């Protein structure tokens, strides 16, 4: 299996809050595993362990395979600018991530399913590839079908985060959004140090 299908709350307890993975919250506060439930202070992570956990945050939050994430890192290195920020911008410009950010879905996994099932259009054309890389001024909208609209409207009502990031413009009456710009670092809801992810892949 290429994608993670296991318990999501367990991952949240180990890595911290991952908004794209699940909206559920665990009643347990300790890290999973035998050591997490003991009163003894957890062993300090090595430098490699810290970098690995930061990489895992990206992988699980955005629902990527190892190979996909490595390809994004290579592309971020190739482009001019701050590599860590470019990596996040590439991930945030994925169609499934944008649908989640706009509130069309409750998680990135659900957004991926929305796209796979043909509920989403880009510039009036149906796109069924979740990893589709959107560009500036692209218009993302919901298909003109009652099932598609009802599903998205229900998710928008239950949306926990009210504010839409400044690089996106959403028209809720039309269920249509426009990509105005690339995201800023502050627009990314995931708490991580992206530079440690770049360091993790530095030897590859």
Domain of residue 13, CATH code: 1.10.1050.10
| Least reliable range by pLDDT among 42-46, 131-135, 186-190 | 42-46
In a domain, 50, yes or no: yes
Instruction: Tell whether 33 is covered by a domain.
Output: yes
* 37 pLDDT more than 60: no
Q: What is the pLDDT of residue 25?
A: 63
Look at residue 8 and tell me whether its pLDDT is greater than 90: no
pLDDT exceeds 90 at position 154: no
Pair 85, 133 in one domain: no
In 81-199, at which residue ranges do the beta strands (DSSP E only) sit? 120-122, 125-126, 139-142, 168-171, 176-179
Overall pTM surpassing 0.95 (yes/no): no
Q: Residue 68: pLDDT above 70?
A: yes
Q: What is the CATH number of the domain that holds 157?
A: 3.10.290.10
Same domain, 174 and 194: no
Taking a C-beta distance cutoff of 8 angstroms, is the pair 140, 114 a contact?
no
Question: Is residue 2 one of the residues assigned to a domain?
Answer: no
Structural domains in the chain (count): 2
1 lies in some domain: no
Digit-coded pLDDT (tens) for 156-189: 887 765 578 889 999 988 899 999 999 988 888 7
Report the chain's mean pLDDT, rounded to a whole number: 83
Three-class SS of residue 95?
helix
What SS3 state is found at 178? strand
Q: How far apart are CA 186 and CA 204, in angstroms?
A: 29
Per-residue pLDDT band for 42 (boundaries 50, 70, 90) equals low
Please list the residues that pair with 126 across neighbouring strands.
121
Within 8 A by CB and 6+ apart from 72, the residues are 64, 87, 90, 91
Model pLDDT, residue 181: 92
Whether residue 20 is found in the same domain as residue 53: yes
Structural Rg of the chain based on CA atoms: 18
Question: Higher confidence at residue 155 or residue 28?
Answer: 155
pLDDT at 39: 44
Q: Where are the alpha helices (DSSP H) in 133-193?
A: 146-157
Look at residue 86 and tell me if it is in a domain.
Answer: yes
């Amino acid at each position: 299996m290429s994608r993670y299908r296991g318990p999501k709350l367990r991952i949240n307890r180990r890595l911290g809050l991952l908004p794209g993975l699940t909206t559920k919250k665990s009643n347990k506060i300790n890290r999973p595993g035998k050591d997490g439930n003991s009163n003894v202070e957890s062993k300090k992570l090595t430098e490699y362990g810290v970098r690995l956990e930061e990489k895992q945050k990206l992988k699980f939050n955005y629902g990527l395979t190892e190979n996909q994430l490595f390809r994004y890192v290579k592309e971020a290195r190739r482009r001019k600018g701050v590599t860590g920020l470019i990596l996040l911008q590439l991930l945030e410009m994925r169609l499934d991530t944008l649908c989640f950010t706009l509130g069309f879905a409750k998680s990135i996994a659900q957004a991926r399913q929305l796209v796979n099932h043909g509920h989403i259009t880009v510039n009036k054309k149906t796109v069924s590839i979740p990893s589709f890389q959107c560009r500036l001024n692209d218009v993302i909208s919901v298909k003109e079908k009652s099932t598609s609209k009802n599903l998205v409207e229900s998710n928008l009502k239950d949306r926990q985060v009210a504010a839409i990031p400044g690089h996106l413009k959403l028209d809720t009456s039309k269920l249509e959004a426009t990509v105005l710009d690339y995201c800023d670092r502050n627009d990314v809801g995931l708490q991580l140090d992206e530079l440690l992810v770049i360091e993790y892949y530095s030897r590859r």
